[in-house]
Amino acid sequence: MRVAIVGATGAVGQEMLGVLENRKFPVAELRLYASARSAGKTTRFLGQDITVEALPEGPLPADIVLASAGGSLSKQYAPVWAKGGSIVIDNSSAFRYEDWVPLVIPEINPGALVGHKNIVANPNCTTIIMAVALWPLHQAFKARRVIISSYQASSGAGASAMEELLEGTRAVLSGGKAENKIFAYPLPFNVIPHIDVFQENGYTKEEMKVVWETRKIFGEPGLKLSATCVRVPTLRTHSEAVTVEFEKPVTPEAAREVLSAAAGIDLVDVPSEKKYPMPMNASSKYNVEVGRIRKNLVFDNALDFFVAGDQLLKGAALNAVQIAELLLD
């Protein structure tokens, strides 16, 4: 396969290189694209230096385009690349809500790829990490209502957002003030309950992405979900506290049994040994960690659990490459 990565110098683009390498994706030729600022930089892939090119106008010489350079760029160029014969796996939200565009988590709805029209959407990172854990429980016990609170890392806003957190932390530690350009407020030593733009209903777009996308991926337009998305001063890996009310009788033991057999999940749930999901351990892992499973005290027949998943990997680069693998078959 001739593969192109658009946004190759970014936080997700860089992870895509590593995932293609690790999973031995059959790459015949790899082209790396970014803005003109990055043209001429080199990146290692399979022991070779590959030069980053400024993204050209027009179609790309690739069978698969992995795009992670923002929504407006995807909106403008993905149809051009698709028309030129490439299959575009788009990490932005530009096409996710179009009926004709498959929105795919390979562990959940690989069948949605059938009949694709050369643009496939990679879901939002917070959605993917929660959905991978919720799906097997939904299949076993049928979820009715889902309430989510997220603890999202700075890297969700890109490589420069990680830099803003590090620089700001250094500044505060040396007695200065943290600057903020990317986040609405300084993130060091703070939490910010504001990710993406506010909607008329009082939720942010990030929160509504979790609602819209989970319904589409599960094929459950009536599933009730509510999310509160919060940025926390970690570098990578999103965590989420999830409360789910089920239709069929459920117990923590039964949920653990289901999750321990599920794809893409590591059950980390031994509180007596201080074993529970955390960014510290879930970072750089392909699987999502799930733990703290317990019976919810408020709703009848409901569970609480906690997930932590590397949102640059399963939440973005890994999921995109897994989609590409499905397209090989």
Angle at 146 between CA 142 and CA 148, to 5 degrees: 145
Contact map string, positions 160 to 199, toward ligand A2P, x by CB under 6 A:
x---------------------------------------
- Are 31 and 6 spatial neighbours (Cβ–Cβ below 8 Å)? no
Count of C-beta atoms within a 10 Å radius of residue 43: 19
Q: Which residue is nearest to ligand A2P (CB)?
A: 10
Task: Provide the 10 A C-beta neighbour count for residue 81.
Answer: 24
Pairwise CA distance, residues 225 & 174, whole Å = 43
3, 4, 10, 132: which one contacts ligand A2P (CB under 6 A)?
Answer: 10
Is beta strand 288-295 parallel, antiparallel or unpaired with respect to 265-267? parallel
| C-alpha span between 28 and 107 (Å, rounded) | 26
Q: Which of 116, 125, 138, 229 is catalytic?
A: 125
Q: Which of 30, 55, 137, 288 binds ligand A2P (CB under 6 A)?
A: 55
Contact with ligand A2P (CB under 6 A): which of 20, 62, 65, 69?
Answer: 69
Specify whether 125 is catalytic: yes
Work out whether 42 is an interface residue with ligand A2P (CB under 6 A). no
Return the bridge partners of 3, or none: 30, 64
Determine, following the binding rule CB under 6 A, whether residue 78 of this chain makes contact with ligand A2P: no
88 or 255: CB nearest ligand A2P: 88
159 binds ligand A2P (CB under 6 A): yes
Contact between 44 and ligand A2P by CB under 6 A: the answer reads no
Angle between helices 252-260 and 125-141 (to 10 degrees): 110
The window from 59-67, 112-120, 155-163, 253-261 that contacts ligand A2P (CB under 6 A) reads 155-163
Nearest distance from C-beta of residue 48 to ligand A2P, angstroms: 19
- Kindly state the smallest distance separating residue 4's Cβ from ligand A2P, in Å: 12
* 317 forms part of the interface with ligand A2P (CB under 6 A): no
Dist. CA 102–CA 219, nearest whole Å: 11
**Least Cβ distance, residue 35 to ligand A2P (angstroms):** 3
Alpha-carbon span 169 to 167, nearest angstrom: 5
- Alpha-carbon gap, residue 35 to 170, rounded angstroms: 29
Q: Which is nearer to ligand A2P, 42 or 160 (CB)?
A: 160
Contact flag: residue 30 with ligand A2P (CB under 6 A): no
What is the C-alpha to C-alpha distance for residues 85 and 79, in angstroms, rounded to an integer?
Answer: 10
User: What is the contact surface with ligand A2P in residues (CB under 6 A)?
Assistant: 7-11, 13, 34-35, 37-38, 55, 69-70, 73, 158-160
Cite the active site residues: 125, 238
